[in-house]
Amino acid sequence: METVAAIPKYNLTDDQEKKLILREYRALLRCLKPKLKTRDKELVRTAFAMSADAHKTMRRKSGEPYILHPLAVARICVEEIGLGVRSTICALLHDTVEDTDITLDDIERTFGQEIARIVDGLTKIANVIDVNASQQAENFKKILLTLTDDPRVILIKLSDRLHNMRTLESMKREKQLKISSETVYVYAPLAHRMGLYNIKTEMEDLAMKYMEPDTYKEIAKKLAETRRERTRYINEFIRPLREKMEKSGFDFEIHGRPKSIHSIWNKMKKKGVSFDEVYDLFAIRVILNSPPEREKEECWKVYSMVTDEYTPSPERLRDWLSNPKSNGYEALHTTVMGPQGKWVEVQIRTKRMNEIAEKGLAAHWKYKEGQADESRFEKWFHQIREVLQSPDNDSVDFLQDFKTSFLAEEIYVYTPKGDVKMLPVGSTALDFAFSIHSAVGAKCIGAKVNHKLVPLSHKLRSGDQIEIITSNKQKPSEDWLNFVVTAKARTKIKDALKEEKRKIAEDGKYYVQRKVEGMGAGYNSHNIDILVDFYKQPSTLDFFYQVATKTIDLKELKDFHVLGDKLEAPKPQRPVMELKPEYTGASEYGKKDAELIIFGESSDKIMYHLANCCKPIPGDDVFGFVTTGKGLTIHRTNCPNASKLLANYGHRVVKTKWAKNKEISFLTGLNIIGLDDVGVVNKITNLISGEMKINISALSIEAKEGIFRGAIKVFVHDKEELDELVKSLKALTGIHTVDRFDAELPLNSSGSSH
């Protein structure tokens, strides 16, 4: 779903366009062929005709006819996810209700209730009343409500998002950032959770291409340069394994595949290593054609052949055969020491497991017939349903909770009786207590993990056995929210706290009522609204609560006037500062200049400050973010908070870029690690202050067992100067790594002239 541009940017005649559309439609029918029953073809044709007609005047940003988008989405559903005819119809119609004159009733009349319900789930919410609630989070909530009824909604939505990511080229820069951030923040983890690894990987790679273009290009270039030697290495690694497996009579295929750019980048960041030091740039995959009853046994046999040939790393064995992931993923992973001292990851699975790994949820249904136990997906849907039924409406919180609760990797833990519970990584004893029952959670005072006493905040690990200790005197407290990660626990704690607040607020309510009636005014909603507004409280409940806890003193009531039975608040003596946000200038100026803010030149016209979380400097890729009451904050696009801000509050993002201004210098920091050599501090300071004439603001160095670690804060004019400095520092002998750090810099650094 996307904005539509009126002006085509590409040149095809009407005839060529018709041929192109027809070609795409035929390609869709071809891949649907095995699934088409007699009447299906007619239904698909009707859906195509309906969509083509409804979208006929519309074009995508690239200028091509809009109908190519629904066609492409339908094709992804069929080819890459393995969905069938009904999903194809929904994919063809997914934008019609939102963007054209077609209504849900029209769709229901033509295709029936089931398809209308899915299309409704795919239609964005037209207008969210609450200005602060994030449109994205609200839409997402709606999708999830339908997901638990019909998971096809999510699968079509993921196809829609994947196609938008593949065609992001023609969008404006800030739109690219917003869509990429949403993708990394919600859709890629969701694809992963649905077991769609290929789609998850492609989404992350495409998002990185727009959010961190330089790093993306650099890694892609290095991967291309090393392709030949990688292929040679893979062949050398596979040869002895192939011979062994052929001798044992296995029916199998074995091949190497490169890791995604995004996962290589993650490894580089996590381990603090360069591209050349990332050991597992590729994985070897063995796919066995085994009968169901011999799957496990044959996978383990192959594992023993691999580890006979190459030495395994003991802590790198992952056994998802005995305990599949909750998204259905089954495989054996091990990392072994291959030729030339390189670590190589080997993945062993069967054809059935491979299909589930690639087609996720859709394949899972195909193999589900005849299984007695409730599937892992159903358990997952059940948990989501539970949380969605809670009346608590803070959408952004909901999105954050959903991410930590339902999209994280899981751990397996045990009850005292030995039943298995699955919880997201990072769960605590308190999360476990709530997962058993909300009443157990609310009364929990501690736990025994593997028979040892631990506090509520104790983080659990896979394999732990937990016994919860409760007390009837226990009540949930505010600080509990700081150490639970599951949505169920958070919701139940918030409900309990609200209930407690409500009880206390009752006292405040009676006190206010007595005061107001004592003044001769009526105790009614108009008067209460006046008071809530005057005392700047977010809600009536908060107002009564603050009165009851004596945080608000009602002494100002003597300045109120009573007209009839209505209260009238006193006029403020002087203008209240809060009413004049710093950024009014920014938005007025922005309108004139197509919301383009150029730093340096126009900094006198616009109030802005640099985000402390990532400390941008000129030359960094940045965006402006309008914060309530604080004006414009400038963040780097690869800031740790960027994807959350862009995904949740895309409407507050302002396009921003730097102008050259050599007058202002910005504070930034570098971490340096190297060998502790005589005179190393001297070398570093000489280079920075002497040769490069850069001002040092602070310098701390500690040496331990032959290694030194230094942190330096310097004033630079822009990113070019910083890059030059990093390059020169790395060239010094004995220096191993130089990294920019973005943590809060204690000095006032909004830019001071030097």
Higher pLDDT, 749 or 535: 535
Q: Give residue-wise pLDDT tens across range 93-116.
A: 988 888 888 888 989 999 988 888
Given a cut of 50, is residue 604 above it in pLDDT?
A: no
- Rounded to an integer, the average pLDDT of 728-742 is 84
Q: What is the pLDDT of residue 432?
A: 93
For residue 293, pLDDT over 50 is answered with: yes
Question: What is the per-residue pLDDT for 410?
Answer: 78
Domains in the chain and their CATH numbers? Answer: 14-211 (1.10.3210.10), 219-366 (3.30.460.10), 378-494 (3.10.20.30), 495-571 (no CATH), 579-657 (no CATH), 664-753 (3.30.70.260)
184, two tokens: 């990394």
Q: Give the span between the Cα atoms of 674 and 677, in whole angstroms.
A: 9
Q: At 644, is the pLDDT very low, low, confident or very high (cuts 50, 70, 90)?
A: confident
Q: Per residue in 153-181, pLDDT tens?
A: 888 889 999 999 999 988 888 888 888 88
Spatial CA neighbour of 240 closest among 254, 259, 227, 226:
254
Cα–Cα distance for residue pair 614/745, rounded to 1 Å: 10
Using the predicted structure, report yes or no on whether residue 396 has a pLDDT greater than 60.
no
Name, of 8-12, 494-498, 741-745, the range with top average pLDDT.
494-498
* DSSP states of 104-168: HHHHHHHH-HHHHHHHHHHSPPS--S-SSS-HHHHHHHHHHHHHHH-THHHHHHHHHHHHHHHTG
Task: Let me know: does 378 contact 422? Beta carbons within 8 Å.
Answer: no
* Mean pLDDT, range 472-500, rounded to an integer: 86
Name the percent of the chain lying above pLDDT 70: 80
Arithmetic mean of pLDDT, 564-580: 52
What's the pLDDT score for residue 7?
Answer: 35
Q: Which of 647-656, 682-691, 700-709 has the lowest mean pLDDT?
A: 647-656
Active-site annotation holder among 17, 40, 79, 98: 98
Mean pLDDT of 626-631: 69
Where residue 112 falls (left for φ over 0; alpha for ψ -120 to 50; beta otherwise) is left
Give the range with max mean pLDDT: 248-252, 595-599, 631-635: 248-252
Mean pLDDT score, 61-75? 89
The rounded distance, in Å, linking the Cα atoms of 747 and 610 is 13
What CA–CA distances, in Å, run from 4 to 66, 95, 135? 8, 12, 19
* Residues 6+ positions from 688 with CB-CB distance below 8 Å: 694, 696, 712, 714, 725
Q: Is the pLDDT of residue 292 over 80?
A: yes
pLDDT (mean) for 412-428: 85
What is the crossing angle of helices 351-366 and 197-211, to 10°? 90
Task: Indicate if the pLDDT at residue 653 is higher than 80.
Answer: no
The better pLDDT of the pair 228, 536 is held by 228
**CB 288, CB 220: distance < 8 Å:** no
Residue 483 reports pLDDT greater than 60: yes
Q: Is the pLDDT of residue 726 over 50?
A: yes
Q: Check whether 89 has a pLDDT greater than 50.
A: yes
Q: Identify the top-confidence range among 191-195, 453-457, 608-612, 618-622.
A: 453-457
Q: How confident is the model at residue 317 (pLDDT cuts 50, 70, 90)?
A: confident
**Which of 273-282, 396-405, 443-452, 669-678 is most confident?**
443-452
pLDDT at 592 over 60: no
Report whether pLDDT(286) > 90: yes
Q: Output the pLDDT for position 5.
A: 37
Conformational region of residue 564, where left means phi above 0, alpha means psi within -120 to 50, and beta covers everything else: left
Q: Which of 89-103, 136-150, 410-424 has the lowest mean pLDDT?
A: 136-150
The C-alpha atoms of residue 497 and residue 476 are separated, in whole angstroms, by 7
**Residue 203 pLDDT exceeds 90:** yes
pLDDT of 553 > 90? The answer is no
Task: Tell me the mean pLDDT in the region 185-206.
Answer: 86
pLDDT of residue 574: 36
Is 150 noted as a catalytic residue in this protein?
no
Q: Hey, what are 65's tokens?
A: 């006819």
Catalytic hit among 2, 64, 95, 99: 99
User: Within its chain, how far is the Cα of 269 from the centroid?
Assistant: 17
Mean pLDDT for 49-60 is 87
Q: Does residue 659 register a pLDDT over 60?
A: yes
The mean pLDDT of 668-680, rounded to a whole number, is: 83
Nearest to residue 343, comparing CAs of 353, 335, 351, 331?
335
Sign of dihedral through CA atoms 490, 496, 497, 499? positive
- Which tokens in the block code for residue 127? 């207008």
Burial class (CB in 10 A: 0-12, 13-18, 19+), 44: buried
Task: Determine whether 98 is an active site residue.
Answer: yes
Q: Could you tell me whether strands 343-350 and 282-288 are parallel, antiparallel, or unpaired per DSSP bridges?
A: parallel
Is residue 546 classed as helix, strand or coil in its secondary structure?
Answer: helix
pLDDT at 376: 62
pLDDT in tens, 701-714: 888 888 888 889 88
Q: What is the pLDDT of residue 399?
A: 65
What is the pLDDT at residue 701?
83
Question: In the predicted model, what is the mean pLDDT of the chain?
Answer: 79
Burial (CB count <10 Å: 0-12, 13-18, 19+), residue 701: middle
Mean pLDDT, range 518-532, rounded to an integer: 81
When comparing pLDDT for 417 and 518, which is higher?
417
Give pLDDT tens digits for 337-389.
Answer: 988 888 888 999 999 888 888 777 666 655 554 443 446 666 667 666 666 66
- Looking at per-residue pLDDT, the higher value among 455 and 591 belongs to 455
The least confident of 424-428, 522-526, 540-544, 693-697 is: 522-526
